[in-house]
Structure 1
């Protein structure tokens, strides 16, 4: 069965998923704030080595806003502005990242074609409440994955909305790969990204980026509900001087992370 919109059988698909018992709940660890990144705070002091002390799964970016960070199975990759991917150096630093020790409590197979909006509805159904966090992973075959990756910035840094004005976008057609994502509650907008924030990397680890849209052919979905959030705020001067809240912040985050 194929569908080009929201799948009419999302609830039926959700019923086929297994609930895994006796799983200790994970904690989300976050360095810095999304609002700081929006304001142009692109330098952090936390290294990839230090990130992995707080989780084996996550996403973020690198200093100078140099591409996208995707982590799973304790491996960290850098998704670059030309659409390529490479293993990140353990001494590379991040101005913003979100990590967790991924312990899925729900898992199941997706055997029908699903668009992004249908997958998101399925995840919302399985989490049950908009007030909880979740981390999820999809390993599968994709008809297409549309991504973008911000180009590396140079000082003096511009705010993110200016930095992404000419961001390159890519379309990965008929690839196998992994989606890594978080769904965060609406009340954390500015602290994190409210809603879905997803990165993609191909199975050959040669390409990927921040996900804009996708069409899944088939795959395995794993999900962990999370109700614990820990934030480590930077001690840098740029963070202390940043504008971390404004009336336009929510719109800016939606435009940047879309």
Structure 2
């Protein structure tokens, strides 16, 4: 049995020399044929050069004649240039008119732009005046609101002072201050101003804590939706009592759960119930 390698044709090696020899022989034959052709024309080298020069000169003369013929044709067509001269003038006039129209349109556009800028400047000035006026009105309204708020605060404070003196059994004159109080300034004009009850607390060395206790009740002691009713009752009771010093009673010392709210008078040491489920008063002495 023959294999695939045996089926392939055998490669011939070592014939490169014969191939090169055959190519060299062909080249020699071509060179010999051209040499034989030169020898057959019977001309010398000088004669062949003169023949080639004459052929080149004849070729150049033919090209010059062709160029002259082309120039003559162009000269014959120059007669029609006069006819198109009028058309060129018309086209020039049309171009000049078009440029003039474009210049006029540009001038009109620039005028429109100037007018538009002026209108815009006027509108901006009007808007600035309007804005300035509105800001002034808003500032005036704020000042009036602050004045009304301050007046209401003073009225509330005056009423609270009066009710505090009434609650503590002091004789109150028309000005809202107790009779004979050093803080009352009459001056023979009937103008009486009462000193706030916090002055008594400061006289005993105790600072007012009403605002802190109110915030503690609202945000710490009675928070949440389920204690809204109790919070509303506590705040209402706190508004009814103008005492500047308050005491909070817890259920236990560990839980800190709100039980009751008391008013504290540093001068007399009285602790009275304002709101809650504690006793109506506390008898334990609290250091001032």
Does the pair score TM above 0.5? no
With the length of structure 2 as denominator, give the TM-score of the two structures: 0.16
Structure 1 or 2: more strand by fraction: 1
Structure 1 or 2: more helix by fraction: 2
Q: Which has the larger radius of gyration?
A: 2
